[in-house]
Structure formats: C-alpha cells, structure tokens
A and B are shown apart, each in its own frame.
Chain A
Amino acid sequence: MNPQNVTVRKPKIQKNYTKHKLLFFIILTALLMLAVVFANQLCPYNPNAQIFEPLETPSAAHICGTDRYGRDMLSRVLIGLQTSVLSTLLLVAIITLFGTAAGVLCGYFGGKTDALIMRVSDVCLAFPGLVFALAIAALLNGGLRNAIIALAVVSWPKYARIARSQTLSLKNSDYVFAARLSGDTSVEIITRHILPNIFGPILVTAMLDIGTMMMELAGLSFLGLGAQPPTAELGNMMSSGRSMLQTYPWVIISPGIAIFLAVAVFNLLGDTVRDYLDPRNSGK
C-alpha cells in the first residue's frame, strides 16, 4: 500500500489532563476556603449592623446592594458562605466517619449487630432523603445544628453500605488471612489492612457529596428549618429575598451565585478526584 494514502487517525484527546485539572480545582477550592476562613476580615461592613438605607441598588460602596433591613449584602454573603461551607464540611465529616465506622464493623464482625444496623440503614434509605430530613428537622425544632443532625441521620447509610461491602470483600482476601496468621488482632487488621484499602472509594464519595449536602442544607434553611435569622446563611438569605425577586433581585441573586459557585467548585473537585484515583487512569 502506498504510505501516502494511509489515513492516520489522531486521537481527539491526545493527553490525559487529569493531573492539571486536579491542580486547577485544588487551587480554586483553596481560594474558596481562604474566603471562608477569612470571611470576617474580608467583610467590608458588619454583616448584622442595620445601618444603611434598606434595599439600596448595588453600587461602589455596596457591591451587592443592601437588604430590606439595611444590611450590606456582600458582608452577609461572605459570612453566609462561611456558615454554609463550614457546616457542610462538618456534616460530611460526621457522616463519613460514622458511616464508615458502622459499615466496617458490620462487615467485619457480621452477625446480629450487622443485621440490626443494616436494617436501620434500610429504613433510612427507604424514605426519600430530603423529605425524611425535613421531618426530622421539624421534629427537632429547626436551627442549624438540628438541620445537620437531620441530614446526618438521612445520609450515613450510603457510607455504611460502601464500607460494609468493601470490608466484606477484603475480609476474605489473602492478605487479611496472612495478617491473621501474623498474629494481628481484629483491631490491627481493621486499622492497618482494611481501612487504608477502602479509603479511596469513601474519599471520592465524600468529595462528591460536599456539593449535594451543601444544597440540601441550604434547602432546609430555605424552608425555614435550618439556620434561623438573623444568622447569615445562604439558604435563609435566599428565602428572605424570595418575595422581592422581581423588584429587588440582588437580594436573592447574590447568595444564589455564592451557592452556585461553591457547589460547582466542590463538585468539579470531587469529579476530578474520582478520575484521578480511578485505577484505569493510573500508569499514564
């Protein structure tokens, strides 16, 4: 065959950019976290001081305008972002730790405890998540702390299931047998051999859950079952701006954009971490 007639098909995506993407999103997340940590210093005004004209249009002095009580919106959005992000991270940490611990113990020891915990988790999974959380939050009388508890009760089974199934498969692997023959106790086997090897999938799930949990927590606040006024929280800020959407849109749009950006950044980071840890991507 004439070599000039041969079409060489070039791959459309020539290189795997996962590493660069990961770095990029880590930087974005770091920036977001800096804004969250230093929110108090970044605030131009006291977020709770009702000292300005109510419902001022955005201007150089008030980039996001003011709300109906004459509070600076930018300051409130920054503090609200801090409240939202920190409580979301706390929530994800709680469900990850508790869910993983429950799952590993169930998978490793089995028996009646396993059956009991897994049936409880079935019950939790049987309800539609947010509706169940609403019911619990309402029962607990609202408030940010109770909203976190409600969402934690609804969300831990996912982690317990992942951890349990991974533990079940590792429990009968040769290296866990070998560790037992080396004289390891159950605790040593769990901490040295099982946990480090199930860490990957759980980390990915947790990263992907940050965005979702942030939405749900803001959702509960939006419905009045999360943070209570005057606490600045993105969900309840949107809720209070709801009636003024057509007349004073900045009151609802600025916290909306803040939620959108934060959720997008966390979701993209989670996706990239998943791609990065995917074994099919390694070795490139």
Chain B
Amino acid sequence: MSQETVQRIELAVGCVLFGFLVIRFSQKRRISFRYTVGWLVLCGLGIFASLLIPVFTPVAEFLRLSPTVFLIAIASIGSALLFLQLTVSISGTQRRVDSLAQENALLREKLERIESPIKK
C-alpha cells in the first residue's frame, strides 16, 4: 500500500470516529441538533475529500504542499471559522442570559410590590 493510500484511510477513519463522537454527544443531548448537523457535514466533507485526494493533488503541488497537508490546512481553516461562529453565538447567548436575569429580577421585585398590600 502506498503512503498516500495509508494517509487517505487514516483521514477517513479519523473523520468517521469524530462523526461517531458527535452522534454520541448528540444522543446525550450535549450538542443541539443544528450543531450536530454542522459537525456531521464537516465529517462528511472530510471523508469525501479523503477519497478524492488525487483531485486535490495539482492544487496542493501548486502550493508546494503534500495533498494530506493541504487537506489538513483546509480542515483547520474550516474549524477556525466554526469556532469563530460559536464564539459569536456564545457571546449573543451570554448577552441574552444577562438581560433575562435582569428582567427576572425586575419582574420579581414588581410582583413582590404588587403582592405586598394584598398579603397585608
């Protein structure tokens, strides 16, 4: 077996294992459906790309990279973009949680004020 074939198999196996991990997390409700789909699409692209390494070879050679390194670079950029999107998402969620906690405190105070004359 050539070195390239071994690398293709390793890449495909890595993607499959990562896909199983994502599915396991999703089954335990640790990842929401939308992110499960996102990660599985990324895994699918990885498997697809490992099968089509010869197609990328001319581009990789043009960039003076081996096909595998080229694929890893693309995967890294994809992951970085995904992390950036997640950071944006977390920041928005943080703001919403802050606002909700404040709304809750203000409403609770209002409720206590309304209820206090009734109790008396």
Do A and B bind?
A: no
